[in-house]
Structure 1
Amino acid sequence: MKIVPDTSIIIDQMLSKLIEENFENAEVLIPEAVQSEIENHANKRKDIGYNGIEELKKLRILADEGHITLKYVGRRPQLDEVSLARGGEIDAMIRDIARKYNATLITSDRLQSQIAEAQGIDTYFYQKEAPKIVKTELERYFLDDVSSIHLRENTVPMAKRGKPGEIELIELDYVPLRYNDLDRITNELLAQTQLRQDAFIEIEKKGVKVIQFGNLRITIAKRPFADGFEITAIKPVNRLDLIDYNVSDKLLKRLSDDAKGILVAGSPGAGKSTFAQALAEYYHYDLEKIVKTMENPRDLNLDDNITQYAPLEGSMEDTADILLLVRPDFTLFDEVRKTRDFEIYSDMRLAGVGMIGIVHATRAIDAIQRFLGRLELGVIPSVIDTTIYIEDGEIKSVYSIELTVKVPTGMIEADLARPVIEIKDLQTDALLYEIYTYGEQTIVMNVNKKHDDENKDKSSVDKIVTKVIRNEIYRIVPNVAVEISLLSNNRALVEIDPEYAGTIIGKNGKTIEKIEERAGISIEVQDLEVKEIEDKKIIPVSISGNYISLNFRKEDIGASYDIIVEGEYLFTATVGKKANIRLKRNIEMGEIIIKAMKKDEPVYARLRSDDYY
């Protein structure tokens, strides 16, 4: 008797058993297409591929022992035919083999069986025993207060239990799990996933699977993605209502009336998702809004009235396109992480959809700053108007975001007025941060930052103003010796090498006026007191690879020196731990030093200290 198995009966590992029971001494003709499809699965690190290879090995053993005759027949399919396997190309090739050799087709695929019978091919359909839905071994690890299970080969099973802010890691057993244990748990999960309506494979890539299994999100990782076999299962512990968070009347009013672009921020495990779920259900039930979600993976524990969407064919952008057609009142986006996520969130908000975005951040302001550079500054308040920061499962702070035109805090001149994003504490209405542009810089100013009067650091504005003045001066006189200090919020002092003071002031003060205009501050120019050029010393210079090294003595480590070449000040630097100052040879200053060396001109260093300036 001749039999032709298809791929399904091989990967189900049932052909070897059927041979022992029903097809002893049969001539088994395995189409090359079957082996090719199994090999393709194995190359993609799919378990069904490995299962199929194991079954082929068993058939080889049966042939070597004389129980069957084993042959591989037909042609190996082309790459494009393998890629079209889901469309039935491989199944058609297998049926052609059965017809050509007048053999019985053995399959556990009902559709394959029905088509073969319709084509007049003798067919043996193996009806797999219908598995039952059972509580899996992994699910039995979960107790009432367990939020996640962590299984890894050669280690004991671990779990996290408790509520946000009070999480502890515990051992569930003293016996380490082996590879076979995790393989057994995985196979059971995959089998049950095919049966349960609330279970599906969310992501399947080389070395990793993500399964949504009821309210569990299960990640299965193997080599080469991970360095070992690992299963992680996460379950939402709490399902809370908004009232459980002691929401203030002011926040509740804002959520009800004004908030349309909301960020829920916090560190991992802080309780962001739990709060976002409560917020989504508040909008649905209390405010009677239509709420949808965008999730990757889809694992929020929400009421059945709220539809949860995953990436459409792997694209969250396509999901957003569908949602814009559905037009929900609010969409919960879990989580906003990559640049394209921020763009999708923004596009949907600007299209009029209320948005709730979950964002990883260690501070509330960090969540807002993640939009900087991704959106035009003036657009940000139209996209996000409220940020809620969650810590240890509680609302830690709430910020409102608004756009105004004003002179930024710390500046005085009226002509410095500009668009400013004000970030305020919602509860107290206290101004906390300002975001604005100054020149080409984007400034995030903490307006409440306290400074130690005895050791007062420059504010961000002071640093930017100083940098603008210095860049303008260097543009006119490159690398001139100059010191800049702020006398007040509207006045700066520039001390410059006397040789170049006139150049900086310009004819009738025109040059300094332009610098003042660009810096937005009044400038006083004074001569810089410097030691005479004779108080300098020659420094040995060496070149190694792409770097130039100015070599000092050990006692010079930590001291700052002016570097002088051919009587001209070049730059100032501090001697490093290796008693040298290094710079790249291909930058302008490096090229000047190399030219001087070629002309046998020495490089001088002049000690820079408080006595000189």
Structure 2
Amino acid sequence: MKIAGENVYIPDYAAVVEGAVSRLVEEGAVSGRIIVHRSIVQLLELFALKGRGVAFAGLKELKRLGELHGRGLVTLEITGEKLRIRGDEAEEALIMEANSAVRELAMSLGGVVLTGDAVIYDLCRSLGLQALYVSRREEKGLLFERYFDEETMSVHLKEGSFVVAKKGKPGDWRYLRLSEERLSREFVERVASEVIEEARRRSDAFIEIDRLGSTIVQLGEYRIIIVRPPLSDGWELTIVRPVKRLKLEEYNLPPELIKRFHERAEGILIAGAPGMGKTTFAQALAEYYMRMGKVVKTVESPRDMILPDEITQYSKHYATLGELHDILLLSRPDYTVFDEMST
């Protein structure tokens, strides 16, 4: 349906926080009138006050849409009633309620729902609503990936500072400056938003922790720590990538030690200074036992070990210690790897 001769599009929560709407406008796939339900704006403001990284990405998307409106590429409108929030609702429940309001608005106006959620898309179609599923964008490389080469272990981005990378291998590395100019806050925020948007799209990515001042993301093989004010004095990203995955046999350990691992290992403590390869060795050990036909599970926070699908990785962040205790006792794995003694 058109209003005043314009196509009408109404984005849901996922489409906004993933930055999909502005991208469609810039690509020419969407034009006319974009109506954002006020409940979506309300949730973005609420979650931003709680320090949720996805909310910052969503607010930036609204800013981009406002700029596109100013350039005459689209008409932006915010309408609808705010949600009645008691304060004890789960965030996912609030998002579901806002998305329901989006569908009701689309039904009343005859507009097209823009969604980045396949389930919501199918639901809209079953209700007789027009919907456009925003599939993930074509891979063009993320902004931070330009700083990585084969020997890069980690990249450090901080507003007001130079780009710094750790290159080498565990136990033998060096810091190198990669930029000629200091980074602006705008650039670091843009990298952070891109990471969060990508984490919501990809099946091999997840947001492990999202709290006031910090967000931890696992994006494929990259572990990304985003820190922002008020926790820090500026926006900062630390992006860590394992340089190489080793098998236990590649460590050239004494045969006596390998035999003990194989026959009667009853508790193994891996210790060393930061950057010495503790997690890399733990990965190799976990895979070694898996190849022996053993059931292996890990307890991590965050889940940053790169392991085969046969090994289940549990997150301490999403469960109480009692719950993890029950799961491990009842599932009875042959070996459990605790990454960091704090877990």
Fold in common (TM above 0.5): yes
Contact 2:136–2:201 (Cα < 8 Å) also in 1: no
Distance 1:68 1:52, change over 3 A: closer
Q: Which has the larger radius of gyration?
A: 1
1:253: Cα distance to partner? 3.8
In structure 1, the partner of 2:226 is 220
- After superposition, residues 96-495 of structure 1 pair within 5 angstroms as 96=104, 102-109=108-115, 112=120, 115=123, 123-128=129-134, 130-285=136-291, 287-311=292-316, 313-337=318-342, 341=343
Residue correspondences, number: 326
AA at the equivalent of 1:229 = W
Contact 1:7–1:37 (Cα < 8 Å) also in 2: no
- Percent identity over paired residues: 32
1:322: Cα distance to partner? 2.1
1:273: Cα distance to partner? 1.8
Contact 1:10–1:56 (Cα < 8 Å) also in 2: no
1:318: Cα distance to partner? 2.4
User: 2-side partners of 1:307 and 1:34: how far apart?
Assistant: 35
Distance 1:89 1:260, change over 3 A: same
| Consecutive unaligned residues in structure 1, runs of 5 or more | 342-613
The SS at the match of 2:100 is helix
User: 2-side partners of 1:271 and 1:136: how far apart?
Assistant: 26
1:90: Cα distance to partner? 2.5
Contact 2:44–2:56 (Cα < 8 Å) also in 1: no
CA displacement, residues 145-183 of structure 1 (integer Å, 9 cap, x when unaligned): 221111111211111122333221111222222223223
Contact 1:85–1:91 (Cα < 8 Å) also in 2: no
Distance 1:39 1:59, change over 3 A: farther
Q: Is the strand fraction higher in 1 or 2?
A: 1
In structure 2, the partner of 1:600 is none
1:334: Cα distance to partner? 0.3
Distance 1:141 1:72, change over 3 A: closer
The SS at the match of 1:156 is coil
In structure 1, the partner of 2:46 is 40
CA displacement, residues 386-433 of structure 1 (integer Å, 9 cap, x when unaligned): xxxxxxxxxxxxxxxxxxxxxxxxxxxxxxxxxxxxxxxxxxxxxxxx
User: 1-side partners of 2:164 and 2:226: how far apart?
Assistant: 15
1:98: Cα distance to partner? 5.5
User: 2-side partners of 1:318 and 1:260: how far apart?
Assistant: 24
CA displacement, residues 58-116 of structure 1 (integer Å, 9 cap, x when unaligned): 69969xx9x979674435423356846457322334444566xx423442126556555
User: 1-side partners of 2:169 and 2:232: how far apart?
Assistant: 29
AA at the equivalent of 2:297 = K
In structure 1, the partner of 2:32 is 22
1:308: Cα distance to partner? 2.6
User: 2-side partners of 1:14 and 1:179: how far apart?
Assistant: 24
User: 2-side partners of 1:37 and 1:232: how far apart?
Assistant: 28
User: 2-side partners of 1:220 and 1:71: how far apart?
Assistant: 30
Contact 2:43–2:95 (Cα < 8 Å) also in 1: no
Question: 90, 93, 100: which is aligned to 1:92?
Answer: 100
Q: TM-score, normalised by structure 1?
A: 0.46
User: 1-side partners of 2:82 and 2:207: how far apart?
Assistant: 33
AA at the equivalent of 1:74 = E
User: 2-side partners of 1:91 and 1:303: how far apart?
Assistant: 36
CA displacement, residues 216-275 of structure 1 (integer Å, 9 cap, x when unaligned): 211111112221111111122233333444433443343333331221112222222222
CA displacement, residues 344-399 of structure 1 (integer Å, 9 cap, x when unaligned): xxxxxxxxxxxxxxxxxxxxxxxxxxxxxxxxxxxxxxxxxxxxxxxxxxxxxxxx
AA at the equivalent of 2:262 = S
Contact 2:247–2:284 (Cα < 8 Å) also in 1: yes
The more displaced of 197-206 and 53-62 is 53-62
1:7: Cα distance to partner? 4.1
Distance 1:326 1:57, change over 3 A: same
In structure 1, the partner of 2:60 is 51
AA at the equivalent of 1:271 = G
Contact 1:160–1:167 (Cα < 8 Å) also in 2: yes
The SS at the match of 1:149 is strand
AA at the equivalent of 1:88 = M
1:135: Cα distance to partner? 3.2
Contact 2:302–2:317 (Cα < 8 Å) also in 1: no
CA displacement, residues 473-517 of structure 1 (integer Å, 9 cap, x when unaligned): xxxxxxxxxxxxxxxxxxxxxxxxxxxxxxxxxxxxxxxxxxxxx
The SS at the match of 1:223 is coil
CA displacement, residues 576-608 of structure 1 (integer Å, 9 cap, x when unaligned): xxxxxxxxxxxxxxxxxxxxxxxxxxxxxxxxx
In structure 2, the partner of 1:602 is none
Contact 1:199–1:214 (Cα < 8 Å) also in 2: yes
The SS at the match of 2:287 is helix
Question: 60, 71, 74: which is aligned to 2:81?
Answer: 74
Contact 2:9–2:114 (Cα < 8 Å) also in 1: no
1:333: Cα distance to partner? 0.7
The SS at the match of 1:240 is coil
Q: TM-score, normalised by structure 2?
A: 0.77
User: 1-side partners of 2:293 and 2:176: how far apart?
Assistant: 42
CA RMSD of aligned residues (A): 3.7
Contact 1:41–1:49 (Cα < 8 Å) also in 2: no
User: 2-side partners of 1:269 and 1:302: how far apart?
Assistant: 19
Distance 1:233 1:61, change over 3 A: closer
In structure 2, the partner of 1:491 is none
The SS at the match of 1:220 is strand
Runs of 4+ more than 6 Å apart: 59-62
